Chain A
Amino acid sequence: MAKILMKGCEAVAEAAVRGGCRFFAGYPITPQNEIPEYLSRRLPEVGGHFVQGESEVASVNMVYGASTMGIRAMTSSSGPGISLKAEGISYLASCKLPALIVNVSRGGPGLGSIQPAQSYYLQATKALGHGGFRVMVFAPYSLQEAVDLTYEAFEYAERDRNPVFLLMDGCLGAIMELVELPEMKEPTDENTKKWNLSKKEGEKRPPRALTPIYPEVILEMENKLRGELYKKWEKEDVKVEEFMTEDAEYIVVAYGIAARVAKEAVLTLREQGCKIGMIRPITLYPFPKQSFHKLDYDKVKAIIDIELTIPAQMRDDIALEVMNRAPIFEYGRSGGNLLDDDGVYDAIMKVIKEVG
Chain B
Amino acid sequence: MKQSILISGSGGQGVISAGILIAQSAADSGKYASFLPEYGPEQRGGSAKATVLTSDTEIISPLPKKCMYWLCMNEQSFKKFGSQLKEGGVLVYNSNRVVSPITRTDITAIPVPSDQLADQIGNPKAANIILIGALLAARKAIIDPEHFLHSLEEKFMSKSEEIREMNAKAFKIGAEIGSKYDE
Query: Which A residues contact B (CB, under 8 angstroms)?
Result: 3-5, 30-31, 114-115, 170-171, 174-178, 257, 260-261, 263-264, 267, 336, 338-343
Contacts of A178 in B (CB 8 A): 27, 32-33
Give B107 Cβ to nearest chain A Cβ, in Å.
Answer: 18
Q: Provide the B13-41 mask, 1 if CB < 8 A to any CB of A, else 0.
A: 00000001001100100001111111111
Bound form: Cα–Cα A342–B60 in Å: 14
The 6 closest A-B pairs by CB, nearest first: A264-B61, A342-B65, A176-B35, A340-B65, A261-B61, A264-B60
B59 contacts A by Cβ under 8 Å: yes
Query: Which B residues contact A (CB, under 8 angstroms)?
Result: 20, 23-24, 27, 32-41, 59-66
Question: Counting chain B CB atoms within 10 Å of each CB, which of A176, A341, A342 scores highest?
Answer: A176
B61 near A260 (CB under 8 angstroms)? Answer: yes
Given known A178-B33, A341-B65, contact A115–B60 (CB-CB < 8 A): no
Bound form: Cα–Cα A339–B23 in Å: 22
Bound form: Cα–Cα A260–B62 in Å: 7
Bound form: Cα–Cα A342–B63 in Å: 9
Pull 7 A–B residue pairs with CB atoms less than 8 Å apart, ordered by A.
A3-B27, A170-B39, A174-B39, A176-B20, A177-B33, A260-B62, A341-B65
A114 near B61 (CB under 8 angstroms)? Answer: no
Bound form: Cα–Cα A170–B20 in Å: 18
Which among B23, B39, B60, B65 is the interface contact of A31 at CB below 8 angstroms? Answer: B39
Contacts of B35 in A (CB 8 A): 5, 175-177
Given known A5-B24, A178-B27, contact A263–B60 (CB-CB < 8 A): yes
Bound form: Cα–Cα A114–B41 in Å: 7
Bound form: Cα–Cα A114–B59 in Å: 25
Bound form: Cα–Cα A336–B27 in Å: 29
B63 near A340 (CB under 8 angstroms)? Answer: yes
Give A183 Cβ to nearest chain B Cβ, in Å.
Answer: 22
B64 near A340 (CB under 8 angstroms)? Answer: yes
Bound form: Cα–Cα A331–B41 in Å: 26
Question: Counting chain B CB atoms within 10 Å of each CB, which of A115, A174, A178, A336 scores highest?
Answer: A178
Contacts of B41 in A (CB 8 A): 114
Contacts of A171 in B (CB 8 A): 36, 62-63
Bound form: Cα–Cα A260–B34 in Å: 13
Give B143 Cβ to nearest chain A Cβ, in Å.
Answer: 14
Which among B60, B62, B64 is the interface contact of A175 at CB below 8 angstroms? Answer: B62
Give A259 Cβ to nearest chain B Cβ, in Å.
Answer: 9
Contacts of B60 in A (CB 8 A): 260, 263-264, 267
